[in-house]
Amino acid sequence: MENDNIATLFKKLQGSFDIEESQEGHQHRFLEKLQASQGLVSIQKKKNTWWRPLSIAASVVILLGIGLSIFNDSPTINQQVAEISPEVSQTQFHFASLIDEQVRELENQSTPETKKIIDDTMIQLIKLDTNYKILEQDLINGGNSKLILSAMITNFQTRIDLLQDVLDQVENIKNLKNYNDANYTI
């Protein structure tokens, strides 16, 4: 019976219910008034809205950075040199791999007796590399390309010869040490 009364009540009230949504922040204001009437003090933080503009600004900066890097894509020195003379990039790759291999071999053979000569060699290699970069820049700037290309190849050959000479000296130092150690038997 009670269910029938409730059902009839709802049928009579149908269409007279308040179905509109309350304004934003209504519940918050209601709770504040309720707490104030009970003598409680509300300690609630205001919502920080500073992060939204900050995140939008960060997104804009990132998009601008990406856009500038795409549209302002200036070729590297190696790309410019390869454009002037494609053979140079192939030669550079070949010589650079030989030099790297010899440098690794030299570093692997480092001992206290050979440390000084290896350190001096590394300093000389850095100077030769700096000179090579200057030659690359001269080639890009439109200097006498045949002369500069010849100087670039000579620079690589000098580095290889230097490394080979030092490797030979390190080997001689090791052999001499082994020979001296063999002569001092007890």
The model carries a pTM of 0.53
| Residues whose CB is less than 8 angstroms from the CB of residue 52 and which lie 6 or more positions away in sequence, other chains included | none
Please report where in the chains the tokens 């390869």 appear, as a residue: 82
Res 8: pLDDT:
85
Res 67: pLDDT:
74
pLDDT beneath 50: ranges in the chain: none
Instruction: Render pLDDT for 24-69 as a digit per residue (tens, 0 to 9).
Output: 777 888 888 877 777 765 555 556 666 777 778 888 888 888 877 7
Res 162: pLDDT:
92
Res 84: pLDDT:
65
Res 186: pLDDT:
53
Res 126: pLDDT:
92
| Residues whose CB is less than 8 angstroms from the CB of residue 156 and which lie 6 or more positions away in sequence, other chains included | 91, 92, 95, 96, 99, 132
Whether residue 152 contacts residue 135, with contact meaning beta carbons closer than 8 Å, is answered with yes
Which of these, 17, 181, 170, lies nearest to 102 by C-alpha position? 170
Res 130: pLDDT:
92
